[in-house]
Structure formats: C-alpha cells, structure tokens
C-alpha cells in the first residue's frame, strides 16, 4: 500500500484551514465571515490517538446546506465562532493508528475540517475502493451529498410512480441533476426550473429532463407551471423555497409530496425578510405532505443508495457535471458561486491543485 | 320499530333547503351567498328508487371545512352554484326501499343535504345504535367530523409519544376540545391557544389541557410559545394557519409533525391576501413533516376510531361541549359563528326545534 502516502514524512505541517470568524445573518458569506488561517498540526505518530488517522485532504464538497450553519441562528447545527468549519470530503491516509486503515488508503469523511490536513477518528471514515471505476470527484458528487440527497428526495420521500409528474427546482444544480435522472429512471415525466436558457438545454440534453424553463424569463411561475403541468404536480423536490414553492402549491395533485431538500433562494435572508408562502391552505384539501430532510437521518439507507448509484454510473444511466475549483483558498468563492446562478452541476474544491 | 317514523304519512313535503347562490371568494359567507329556499319533494314510496331511503333530518354538523367549499376556487370540492349544500348529518328514516333500513331507524349521513328532508342511497348511511349510550348530537360531534378529525390528527398523523409536547390551536373549538383530550390520554403535555380567558379556563378545566393562552392577549405568539414550550414542540395540530403556524415553526423539535386539519384564520381571504409563512426553511434542518388531511382518506380507519371513542365516552374520559342552534334557518348564522370566536365546542343545528 502506501503509494503517495508513504512519501510524506512531515511530522508537523503548516495547515491552512477555513474558520468561522463571524456569523452572516443575511447575504452571501464573505471574507468577513469565513477566514483562512494557518495553524501548526503535529502529524508525528505518537501525537495521533489510538483509533485515529491523519488525513491529507484531496477534495471538499461545496454544498448549499453549509450556508445554513453560518447564520448564527438558534439552530444547534451552527458552526462555532473561531472554529474550523467542516464539510463532506475525501482524503488520503498519511498516518494510521487504527487497524482498519493503512497509509495511502483513500477515505471519505462526511464531516471533515475544510483544511489541508486533519486527524480524525476511524469511526467517521469510509474507504474508497480504487477499483470501483468511480472517480474521486464522483465519490463526493453522485456518490456523495448531492447524489444521496437526490436519492432520499426522489426515492424515499417523493416516491413517484411511473408516469407521475415530477417537478425539480434548481434542476441544473448538484442535487437537481441527479433528481431528474433518478425520476426518469422511475419512468416519470420530469420538468425542471433553472436559471438560464443554456441550463434548460443542459438539463434536457444531459440530465434526461423532459423539459424545463428559465425562471429568470418565466417570472410568472404560476403561468409556467400551468403550462408545463396540465395534469398537475405529483412530486416536487424543492431546492429553492419561496415564490416557487408557493406557485407549486397552486398546481399540486391530491396526495402530492414535497420533499424539502433546501431553499437556496431563502438562505441569505433573515427569516422575517423571507418570502412568505401564502397558500399552505391548499395542502389541506389536496392532502399534501411536505417534509424537510437531512441526510444524517437516512444514513441507515446509505448502503442501499450507494449500491444503486454505483450501478447506474457503471451502466452510464446517471451522468455528472462537476466544476472543480483549484486550491483550498478557493473555498469561499466556491461557496458564494452556489448563490449566483453561475454554476452548473456539482462544485468541488481540489485542496491541492 | 317505526316509532316516530310511522306517524309521518306525508307523500309530498315543502322541503326547506340551503343552496349556494353565489360564491364567497373572501369574507364570511352571508345571505348573498347562501340562501334558504323551499322545494317540493315527493316522499311517496313509488317515487323513491330501490336501495334508497327518505330521511327527515334531525341534526346537521356545522364545521369550518364547509367554508372551503364555498369560495369558487379551482378546488374541485366546490359546491355547485344553485345546488343544495351538504354536510355531516343525522336523520330518521321515514320511507325505506332498502332491506337494511326500516322506518324509524336513526342514521348518520356524512354528506347529506342541509335540508329538512332528503332521499338518499343506503350506501351513504350508517345506522345509529339507540342502546350505545351516545346522544344524537354526540354522534355528530365526538363520534362525527370533529372527533374523527382530532383522532386522525393526533393518533394517526401526529402520533405523539408519552411525554411529548403537543400544541393545539383553536383549542376550545370542536376539533381542539377532542385533540387535547386524546393527546392527554396518550400521556402528553398539551397546551392550547384559544380566543378568550374564559376559553383558556375551559380547556384547562373541561378538556384536560395542561395550560393554554389567549391569542388575543398574547399577540407575540413567538414569545408565548417560547414560554409554554421551553423544550420545544413535538406535535402541532394546526387548525388556524397563518401567523400561528409561522410562530410554531420557530419552536419545533427535530422530526416534529404538523398535521394540517384546517386554517380557520385563512379561509375568508383570497389566497394572495393570506398571511405568508416565511420560515418554512426551518422544516429542512428540523426535518419537520407537515401534512394536510381530509377525513374521506381515512374512512378505512373509522371503525377503529369509533370503537375507541365510544369506549372513551362511556368511561367518561372524553367530554363534549355542544352548542345547539335551533331550526334549519339558523344554519347560516351557525356557520358564521365559527369565524368570530363566539363559540365553544361543537356547533350543531337542530333541524326542527
């Protein structure tokens, strides 16, 4: 084993890491809120506790939910001020004090420090199989947070039947690209909303959507949904919240399901400034179920998901588009890019270019 | 059998009935929208189809959901213009062309014309057992729409554990009075909101609530809920919607459930004028499930409900407060009274005083 790992003989590193300097109650987080600092980290074998490993981080997953941990709200998932922030990442074991892992192993860490190095318990990790045919960035995309989120939203909570009418917002985003493909694999009719004509083209041509619309052009969402869903909406995977969610509630069918994956249009506002949804009463007569979800609650189903997704990737049934930003220093701009409609697909930071 | 029924020898009656004269897009329905008319109805045996019975209506259940059928919205449950409106009622069989029913039987009809008489298929009816110890008004209250709604909301969708923190709005209303008692029977801590200090006293002393508050006085709902739920809310049975629902979403615990029974604060407004709920994003992190329900979808569980509720009533574990308004002509004011905080408990119209 060993491979690249063995060549690293550092016993102490200058470790660059992102930390929460100040909460961002509203707006896109800036360099006032998230700062990069350098801290010494000992990688000497005797400074690593038993059952722990030292990792050199390779890729970090940049996902919208991170924003919700930076607002300083009463939500207990807030990052602590002055502390390193964490995300889903992938790294190489460079020291091991645990029998399960060897130097050189590639591992996935669902909550790793956004840093160049870290020392972590083996309990947090899952080994990456280099013979799986899955690429490293795929491992934090289709096989990571967005793929799993799309799977929980569509397969577990949305559970559409063949022929069901499925709507997905932020359809060209990381979750949206998988959600559309998973719904198509179930035989549904799938429509997406996204932020440009090019992206509408992309979701149709690459991600299997039957059709889609550009919400910057079709500003009357109600009219757009009436046109795209003459038979109503059975499942809506909500990634945006606000006005789009409200418009959907005017077109839901009986017993429609609305898994709430995230609400990217709402993250950067304090809650009293958010767009109120005025027609929740429609949920009564139509007996709609709306349900928020976090992936941690579905970890017992990760194996089932990973098996299905790996098969889809191998069979070419699920495609991925990834934007890889280079260098740990690119994390802040990568995060901000999620909120500006400038991305397509999954945003990943490659820690060392 | 026969009893009172046999004495009625009318072959044609002047039948007073309420019909939908015009839709009420907003506001409390008035005499412009609902009108009483007299129509001849033949009760001659040969004018009643096989499998049908003629009923003399005794009591009509007046429930808030009726309002949602009077707005002229796209919702297919709208009453038809010019047609008689319907509600849950109880009547006496005065002619029978069906083997199951005899003259004099008392029957429950979940969707009967709001009229003095009707001719209806036996399929719609359920026989009332005069030896059950349940009173006729109870049969359309605890054993009818509000009791069943409270049961579905608490037992099926809310499903609180012993010790769970349960909140019920419109707690002194027909659904609220049962919801509190059912949640207490499950060993929960139950708090209610209602419209006067007297009603707060009532829900504590009569309906088993641990405590409650007057939402006319405690206008900062957020502050009130923080005080009454220091450990958060696990189940909220929503009968009002709007600002109260929004405030609840600031205090929900992880995996909280919000069965939406109705939204009485919102029925009388066109949807664009309704109070928007701005903090649905909280549903994501807390993984809240919000679900609208209509009783028709739970009819397969009615037997289970009726058995449990009948036992509770016999054992004195569930109490009812009923407001009986006299005469079919009182229906309109009875309906309007649901929206003015003037009632306590269940509103019923006794068709003939």
Reported as type and span, the H/E element at residue A214 is strand A211-214
Nearest CA in chain B to A273: B278
Q: What one-character-per-residue DSSP string does A252-270 give?
A: EEEEEEEEE---TTTTTS-
Q: Is A106 near chain B, with CB under 8 Å?
A: no
Cross-chain Cβ contact B274/A278 below 8 Å: yes
Q: Which residues of A touch B256 (CB under 8 A)?
A: none
Work out the end-to-end distance of chain A between its first and last CA atoms, rounded to an integer number of angstroms.
23
Given a contact cutoff of 8 angstroms between Cβ atoms, the answer to whether B68 and B263 are in contact is no
Q: Given this model, what pLDDT does residue B27 score?
A: 92
Q: Is A281 near chain B, with CB under 8 Å?
A: yes
Could you read off the pLDDT of A114-143 as tens digits, one per residue?
A: 999 999 998 878 888 878 888 888 888 999
Q: Given this model, what pLDDT does residue A32 score?
A: 97
Measured between alpha carbons, how far is A320 from A233 in angstroms, rounded to an integer? 26
Cross-chain Cβ contact B287/A283 below 8 Å: no
Q: Which residues of B touch A289 (CB under 8 A)?
A: 289-292
Q: Given this model, what pLDDT does residue A219 score?
A: 94
Q: Which residues of B touch A75 (CB under 8 A)?
A: 282, 285
Nearest CA in chain B to A265: B281
Nearest CA in chain B to A272: B278
CA distance B19 to chain A (A): 22
Q: Is B290 near chain A, with CB under 8 Å?
A: yes
CA distance A273 to chain B (A): 8
Q: For residue A264, what pLDDT band results from cuts at 50, 70 and 90?
A: confident
Backbone phi, psi, residue B201, to 5°: -60, -45
Count Cβ atoms below 10 Å from residue A154 Cβ, excluding itself: 29
Is residue A3 over pLDDT 50? no
Is residue A31 over pLDDT 90? yes
Backbone phi, psi, residue A334, to 5°: -65, -45
Nearest to A85 by CA among A45, A35, A41: A35
Q: Given this model, what pLDDT does residue B131 score?
A: 83
A284 → closest Cβ in B262, B271, B288: B262
Domains and CATH numbers, chain A: 3-140+321-350 (3.90.180.10), 145-296 (3.40.50.720)
3-state secondary structure B223-281: HHHHHHCCCCEEEEEECCCHHHHHHHHCCEEEEEEEEECCCCCCCCCCHHHCCCECCCC
Q: What one-character-per-residue DSSP string does B162-200 give?
A: TT-EEEESSTTBHHHHHHHHHHHHTT-EEEEEESSHHHH
Q: For residue A9, what pLDDT band results from cuts at 50, 70 and 90?
A: low
Could you read off the pLDDT of A320-335 as tens digits, one per residue?
A: 999 999 999 999 999 9
Question: Among residues 218-257 of chain A, which lie with CB inside 8 Å of chain B?
Answer: 241, 245-246, 250, 255
Cross-chain Cβ contact A284/B290 below 8 Å: no
Where do runs of H (alpha helix) occur along chain A? 136-139, 145-151, 174-185, 197-205, 221-228, 242-248, 282-285, 302-314, 331-337
Measured between alpha carbons, how far is A31 from A26 in angstroms, rounded to an integer? 14
Dihedral of the alpha carbons of B343, B344, B349, B353, in degrees to the nearest 10: -100
CA distance B130 to chain A (A): 34
Cross-chain Cβ contact B291/A289 below 8 Å: yes
Close Cβ partners of B260 (under 8 Å, ≥ 6 residues apart): A280, A283, A284, B238, B241, B290, B291, B292, B293
Q: Is A274 near chain B, with CB under 8 Å?
A: yes
Give, for all 353 residues of chain B, the pLDDT tens digit: 334 444 446 789 999 999 999 999 999 999 999 999 999 999 998 899 999 999 999 999 999 989 989 999 877 789 999 999 999 999 999 999 988 999 999 999 988 999 999 999 988 788 888 788 888 888 889 999 999 999 999 999 999 999 999 999 999 999 999 999 999 999 999 999 999 999 999 999 999 999 999 999 999 999 999 999 999 999 999 999 999 999 999 999 999 999 999 888 787 888 888 889 999 999 999 999 999 999 989 989 988 999 999 999 999 999 999 999 999 999 999 999 998 877 789 999 999 99
Q: Given this model, what pLDDT does residue B271 score?
A: 83
Q: What one-character-per-residue DSSP string does B58-117 give?
A: EEEEE-GGGGGGSS--S-TTPPPTTSBPEEEEEEEEEEE-STT--TT-EEEEEEEESBSE
Q: For residue A200, what pLDDT band results from cuts at 50, 70 and 90?
A: very high
Q: Which two tokens stand for residue B234?
A: 């696990």
Could you read off the pLDDT of A32-87 as tens digits, one per residue?
A: 999 999 999 999 988 999 999 999 999 999 999 899 899 998 777 899 999 999 99
Q: Given this model, what pLDDT does residue A119 score?
A: 96
Q: Which two tokens stand for residue A244?
A: 């789009």
Return the bridge partners of B14, or none: B40
Hey, of B292, B296, B298, which one would you mutate to test binding to chain A, going by the most A CBs within 10 A of its CB?
Answer: B292
Q: Given this model, what pLDDT does residue A172 score?
A: 95
Q: For residue A309, what pLDDT band results from cuts at 50, 70 and 90?
A: very high
Measured between alpha carbons, how far is B284 from A291 in angstroms, rounded to an integer? 7
Nearest CA in chain B to A268: B281
Q: Given this model, what pLDDT does residue A5 score?
A: 43
A294 → closest Cβ in B266, B272, B285: B285
Measured between alpha carbons, how far is B148 from B90 in angstroms, rounded to an integer? 16
Cross-chain Cβ contact A294/B284 below 8 Å: yes
Backbone phi, psi, residue B328, to 5°: -60, -30
Proportion of chain A above pLDDT 90, given as a percent:
78
Given a contact cutoff of 8 angstroms between Cβ atoms, the answer to whether B241 and B265 are in contact is yes
Mean pLDDT of A89-100: 93
Work out the end-to-end distance of chain B between its first and last CA atoms, rounded to an integer number of angstroms.
24
CA distance A38 to chain B (A): 31
């Amino acid at each position: 084993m060993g491979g690249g790992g063995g060549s690293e003989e550092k016993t102490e590193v200058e470790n660059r890491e992102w930390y929460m300097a100040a909460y961002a109650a509203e707006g896109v987080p800036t360099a006032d809120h998230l700062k990069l600092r350098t801290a010494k980290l000992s990688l000497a074998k005797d400074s690593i506790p038993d059952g722990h490993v030292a990792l050199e981080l390779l890729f970090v997953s940049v996902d919208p939910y991170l924003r919700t941990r930076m607002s300083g709200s009463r939500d207990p998932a807030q990052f602590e001020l002055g502390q390193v922030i964490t995300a889903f990442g992938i790294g190489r074991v460079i020291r091991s004090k645990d029998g399960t892992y060897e130097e050189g192993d590639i591992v996935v860490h669902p909550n790793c420090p956004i840093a160049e190095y870290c020392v972590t318990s083996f309990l947090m990790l899952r080994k990456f199989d280099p013979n799986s045919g899955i690429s490293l960035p795929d491992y934090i995309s289709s096989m990571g947070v967005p793929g799993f989120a799309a799977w929980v939203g569509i397969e577990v909570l949305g559970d559409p039947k063949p022929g069901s009418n499925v709507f997905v917002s932020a359809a060209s985003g990381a979750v949206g690209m998988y959600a559309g493909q998973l719904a198509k694999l179930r035989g549904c009719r799938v429509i997406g909303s996204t932020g440009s004509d090019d992206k509408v083209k992309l979701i149709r041509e690459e991600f299997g959507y039957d059709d889609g619309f550009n919400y910057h052009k079709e500003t009357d969402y109600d009219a757009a949904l009436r046109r795209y869903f003459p038979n109503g909406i059975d499942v809506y995977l909500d990634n945006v919240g606000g006005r789009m969610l409200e418009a959907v509630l005017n077109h839901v069918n009986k017993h429609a399901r609305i898994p709430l994956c995230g609400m990217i249009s709402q993250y950067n506002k304090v809650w009293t400034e958010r767009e109120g949804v005025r027609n929740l009463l429609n949920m009564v007569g139509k007996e709609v179920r709306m349900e928020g979800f976090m992936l941690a609650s579905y970890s017992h189903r990760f194996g089932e998901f990973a098996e299905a997704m790996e098969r889809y990737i191998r069979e070419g049934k699920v495609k991925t588009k990834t934007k890889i930003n280079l260098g740990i220093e690119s994390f802040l701009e990568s995060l901000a890019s999620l909120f500006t409609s400038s991305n397509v697909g999954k945003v990943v930071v490659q820690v060392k270019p």
